[in-house]
Amino acid sequence: MKDRGYYEKFGGAYLPEILVATFDELVETFQTAKNDSGFWQEYVDMMSTYSCRPTPITFAQNLTRHFGGARIYIKREDLNHTGAHKANNVIGQGLLVKRMGKTRVIAETGAGQHGVATATMAAKFGFKCTIYMGEVDVQRQRPNVFWMERLGAEVITVKEGTRILKDAINESFRDWVTNMDSTHYVLGTACGPHPFPEMVSFFQSIIGQEARKQILEQVDALPARIYACVGGGSNALGIFNAFLDDPVELVGVEAGGEGIETGRHASRLSSKDASIGVAQGYKTYFLQNSGGQMRETHSVAAGLDYVGVSPILAQYAETGRIRYEAANDREVVDALSLTIQKEGLIPALESAHAFVQAFKEASAMTPKDIVLINQSGRGDKDIFTIADAFGDPKWQEFIKEKAEGYHA
């Protein structure tokens, strides 16, 4: 990494003058903490006693038998506190907020998992908390909105733009500019201006550190391939980082939406629809038109419905170290259904993208091969979307009765 967070031609910190001093403080605080072994130990101890780490690796025996090829293992980030990998980052940033002496945190959220994790961290550390969430995502992730508010956070619905994740990020930055003396923006993924890509991937690296040790202990071998979904990129970098120097193929799976050919997707690195640009304070591949205006994206998974991608992952796309694929909405729902029925696990819709690609490739591999899937979160939050996708008549009747009860 070069000065100001460049990863070759990607990254950087494209900031308004008013935010430069705030970012300088954050960079200094983070680098000091990163170089302090006591800070990492404090972080690991808290993740152990508060967030139930390390999360296990599970051998998916039934799925392995079903596909008849590679042995399938699953890293269980769904068992992390708040139900996803998001807690890894927010707890780490919360410790930095304490060091900076700030009293309020703000965050964007798409699927709601980062919002719940941030609200949880704020409750634990005693911070005031505001969460920005696009109106479309509020509607499809209402259970997580409920929990954020119960945890004491103010949830602000963003009604501008396309009303999804990118617009929530924009509103968070506007808040931060106004309240930077007291407030820290807990950016949820490895995007944005330096030091966020480095900082978020640093805290998420706990996933890969655990996974590498666990798989060697369980099978005395490294995986042939590791699969992770890719939205902004935090869970993928979290598990990939520990294996970058190993002879392991790393596969990131993006949101194919209604199909790459339709243009209604959120695939930046696995399609030809993205181009390099600068937005939201950093340089990377964005889904944008020839005039630099951001295109509308689509995914069944709110957490992958984003126009940009981590500059670190963009650089790995250039070097070929990580292979990128896309899974469409129908494939995601089918893979989720199969995993539920075969293993009794309920991956988040985001995570299910990684399962899709692993399932496509496992049968062509041998029983000597190991594949590892990062289950970045649990699917409880997706119950409305999943029930609609399944067309479950009992669920529909329940919702109708509930609605009638509220209007009685």
86 flagged as catalytic: yes
Instruction: Point out the catalytic residue in the list 51, 75, 77, 108.
Output: 108
Q: How far is CA 157 from the centre of its chain?
A: 20
- Is residue 187 within 8 A of residue 154, CB to CB? The reply is no
Say if residue 267 is exposed, middle or buried (CB neighbours under 10 Å; 0-12, 13-18, 19+).
buried
CA angle, 86 then 92 then 94, to 5°: 100
108 flagged as catalytic: yes
Phi, psi of 54 (to 5 degrees): -75, 145
Q: What is the dihedral of CA 296, 298, 302, 304, to 10 degrees?
A: -90
- Is residue 322 within 8 A of residue 310, CB to CB? The reply is no
Q: How far is CA 130 from the centre of its chain?
A: 19
What is the per-residue DSSP string for 54-90? SPPEEE-HHHHHHHTSSEEEEEEGGGSGGGBTHHHHH
> What proportions of the chain, in percent to the nearest 5, are helix, strand and coil?
50, 20, 30
Q: What is the DSSP letter of 301?
A: S
310 flagged as catalytic: no
Nearest-10 crossing angle of helices 37-51, 17-34: 90
Contacts of residue 313, defined as CB under 8 A and 6 or more positions apart, other chains included, come to 190, 230, 233, 236, 237, 252, 269, 322
Phi, psi of 391 (to 5 degrees): 65, 40
Q: How far is CA 95 from the centre of its chain?
A: 20
Distances (CA, A) of 215 to 224, 226, 297: 12, 12, 36
Instruction: Point out the catalytic residue in the list 75, 86, 283, 381.
Output: 86
- Is residue 59 within 8 A of residue 367, CB to CB? The reply is no
- In angstroms, the CA 129 to CA 149 distance is 10
Instruction: Point out the catalytic residue in the list 201, 234, 267, 376.
Output: 376
- In angstroms, the CA 125 to CA 102 distance is 11
Q: Which helix (H) or strand (E) holds 316?
A: helix 311-319
Active-site amino acid positions: 86, 108, 376
